[in-house]
A and B are shown apart, each in its own frame.
Chain A
């Protein structure tokens, strides 16, 4: 990890992530491409290969996919860089969201508020499904992943009290079974 006494790496991280935080309409994935461009081509924080590796880690680790920003901060300036990048990426959009939530809440109970809620909710649901597709596209997932996700969604709909850990475990098992079948040459 780099020892850097100057503030400049933190300022650089903030100058990249604060604006991106406020334009990330559609969530984290919508800014992955500009983040990559900044980190690799503009700021030269890392190589394209390193970026892909970080991307893979962010997908694996707990938390939203946007933890990508945290990892870039870590690469640039260690733990303090990770914290600065996380705050820079999440605080501006969160403040905006808080402000909108407050205004939104103030008019609760009005007729037009109910209509807006009723009109916007389906868009949120449509985007929820779109997000699922986008994740699979990004991960270049095969039919096994799709099938598994649909299975889990169906199980939780059928038995809402079922614990998700059990289903996540099934996911790990199924993929290992697939790996084993592929390696043993029984299939393919």
Chain B
């Protein structure tokens, strides 16, 4: 699959259009997988952002405090339409779920005894994790294309430490990040090109 580059990008959308796209992602994100949805729409469908830029946003969103999805949304909105884009994106993404989750809470008592519904919900939630796994694969493919060993090691080490061993994120990132950045730091006379 060809990776979209800066030349292939579509012109930035209006604030209204950007908000509309994120609003519908929020509304239809049953079971989660929002980062995967945002990537799909913003990078692939509308080509408002490059894959590379998006992945750098993913890293920022995960490392900074706050929900990863809202951080990513702010980054994406900012890259597409500046500060107003970020504000619009965040409110558009969150407004639907804010109302819907309360409605679900109100309705929950009436439906909690139907096992079929529970099975639907659990099934959708499990499948939605797959959307984020897909995004992980996109990130891995990008690392692979760097043709460097260090980023691959950094990825696997982070995954094993945080995901498998369940070590706390902060010290893990504080140790791995400087090493990972140092390994790809431009050397004198040479340049770091991905």
Contact B136 A97 (CB under 8 A): no
A71→B105 contact, CB < 8 A: yes
**Cα separation A164 to B115 with both chains bound (whole Å):** 24
Type the 1/0 row for A133-164, where 1 means its CB is closer than 8 Å to any CB of B: 11110010100111011111111110010001
Main secondary structure on A side of the interface with B: helix
Size bin of chain A's contact surface: 35 or more
A148 touches B156 (CB 8 A): no
Confirm or deny: A33 has a beta carbon within 8 angstroms of a beta carbon on chain B: no
Q: Which residue of A lies closest to B107 (CB)?
A: A57
Q: What residues of chain A lie closer than 8 Å to B193, measured between beta carbons?
A: 114
Q: Is B10 an interface residue (CB 8 A)?
A: no
Q: Are B70 and A93 in contact (CB under 8 A)?
A: yes
Contacting residues, chain B, for A24 (C-beta < 8 A): 65-67
Contact of A126 among B97, B126, B155 (CB under 8 A): B155
Determine the residue in chain A with the shortest Cβ distance to B109: A53
> Does A118 lie within 8 Å of B34, measured CB to CB?
no
Choose one: B37, B60, B134, B135; the contact of A101 (CB below 8 Å). B60
Q: Is A60's CB within 8 Å of the partner chain B?
A: yes
| Chain B residues closer than 8 Å to A176, beta-carbon distance | 116, 119-120, 123
Proximity bits, B103-145, A CB within 8 Å = 1, else 0 = 0110010000001100111111111111111111101101100
Asked if A125 and B136 sit within 8 Å, CB to CB, the answer is yes
A168 CB to closest chain B CB, in angstroms? Answer: 5
CB pair B101 A58 closer than 8 Å? yes
* Interface membership of B185, Cβ < 8 A: yes
Task: Using CB atoms, name the residue of chain B closest to A104.
Answer: B60
Q: Give residues 66-81 of A contacting B (CB, 8 Å).
A: 66-67, 70-71, 74, 79
CB-CB under 8 A from A150, the residues of chain B are: 130, 133
**A145 partner residues in chain B, CB cutoff 8 A:** 122, 125-126, 129
- Expressed in whole angstroms, the Cα–Cα distance for A128 and B71 within the complex equals 14
Cα(A114)–Cα(B191), bound, Å: 10
For the residues of B in contact with A, the DSSP-based class is helix
The answer to whether A94 touches B90 (Cβ under 8 A) is yes
Residues of A within 8 A of B177 (CB): 119-120, 123
* CB nearest neighbor in B for A81: B102
- Closest residue of chain B to A74 (Cβ to Cβ) is B102
Q: Is the CB of B58 within 8 A of A125?
A: yes
Q: Does B9 sit within 8 A of A, measured CB to CB?
A: no
Among candidates B31, B108, B115, B143, residue contacting A168 with C-beta atoms closer than 8 Å:
B31
Instruction: Determine whether the beta carbon of B119 is less than 8 Å from that of A175.
Output: yes
Given A61-B100, A132-B136, A150-B133, A111 contacting B37 (CB threshold 8 A):
no
A71 touches B101 (CB 8 A): yes
Which chain A residues in 97-113 approach chain B with CB under 8 Å? 97-98, 100-102, 104-105, 111-112
A134: which B residues are within 8 A, CB to CB? 163
Residue numbers of A with Cβ under 8 A of B are 21-28, 30, 53-54, 56-67, 70-71, 74, 79, 82-83, 86, 89-90, 92-94, 96-98, 100-102, 104-105, 111-112, 114-136, 139, 141, 144-146, 148-157, 160, 164-165, 167-168, 170-176, 178-179, 183
Q: A118-B181, A157-B134 are in contact. List 18 more A-B contacts (CB 8 A).
A: A24-B66, A62-B96, A63-B96, A100-B60, A101-B60, A101-B86, A112-B186, A115-B181, A119-B177, A119-B184, A121-B143, A122-B143, A122-B151, A124-B59, A126-B163, A128-B58, A152-B128, A171-B125
7 A-B pairs whose Cβ atoms sit less than 8 Å apart in the complex? A26-B170, A70-B102, A101-B78, A119-B180, A149-B127, A160-B1, A179-B119
Give the top 3 A-B pairs by smallest Cβ distance, nearest first: A93-B66, A152-B130, A63-B97
